[in-house]
Amino acid sequence: MNYRHAFHAGNNADVVKHTLLIALLQALQLKPSALTLIDTHAGCGIYDLGGDEAQRTGEAAHGVMRAMADANPLLDDYHAAVQAVNADGELRLYPGSPRFLAQLLREQDALILNEKHPVDANALRGAMRGTGAAVHERDAYEVWLAMLPTRTPRGLVVVDPPYEQTDERERITATLASAHRKWSHGVTAIWYPLKDGGTHLRWKDQLRRLGIPKILAVEHWLYDQYQPGAFNGAGLFFVNPPYAFTQSLPPLLEALRAALAPEEQKGRITMEWVAA
């Protein structure tokens, strides 16, 4: 499937992904040692919710619009990050993962971004100007391995591909296995769509067989029942998630589920240890 960021900016999958990234980074920053943050598929960095791509799908209405209207204090950090790129109070722009990460950088942290698509890479450089982020325009999986182990004591790799290529999951699996051999203590977050149930179960089994001790799957299902062939939601694999993050998840996931619940279906957000 093709999941270019611009067409889906601010949708329900973005809300879950970015809320969890904020919580993950905050948990990692409980320790003072420096972090290197690497985003392998960074996209444009910021998106115009009134632009042609976002308007064509209208998905923000069921995502960021709902989340911003929800007063649950557990979503306050997400609200603040979105508001930070909308200075006039209007919800016109949506920050991509690079901007969420950049807002949380400490002085000792570093941010490395990669975007292979040349048009998006150029937009990313403009969106990240003044943040101190390093921007690369290379194959995502080459960058992932080339940057490991990180120069700082700890790090986080965010892998968020559009799933345009039929072998995307295989490349992620192979690269993760190589990355773990180089950087076994590192934290990785891998985003994925939930569409083909059989493919997804086989992928989980492949990841389980890698022998990585800790892989947590958090999945946001839009419907109470699986809809064959439909976009059923999205999830994230977290490799080596910190304890403080996993302990914070149950109430945060319920807050997200309640904020994003469609009118006729409650949906659900699940967490499951693929490997533990």
Around 252, how many Cα atoms within 13 Å sit in the side-chain half-sphere? 23
Q: What is the pLDDT of residues 65-109, one digit of tens each?
A: 999 999 999 999 999 999 999 987 789 999 999 999 999 999 999
Strand runs labelled E in 68-184: 93-95, 110-114, 134-136, 154-159
Could you say which of 70, 76, 160, 196 is catalytic? Answer: 160
264 pLDDT more than 80:
no
Instruction: Work out the mean pLDDT of the chain and round it to a whole number.
Output: 92
CA quadruple 58, 63, 163, 35: dihedral, nearest 10: 140
Q: Any idea what the CATH number is for the domain that residue 59 is in?
A: 3.40.50.150
Q: What is the pLDDT of residues 195-234, one digit of tens each?
A: 887 889 999 999 999 999 999 999 999 887 777 777 889 9
Look at the chain and report how many structural domains it folds into.
1
**Residues of the domain holding 258:** 5-275
* Residue 196 appears among annotated catalytic residues: no
Residue of 84, 60, 81, 69 lying closest to 5 (CA atoms): 60
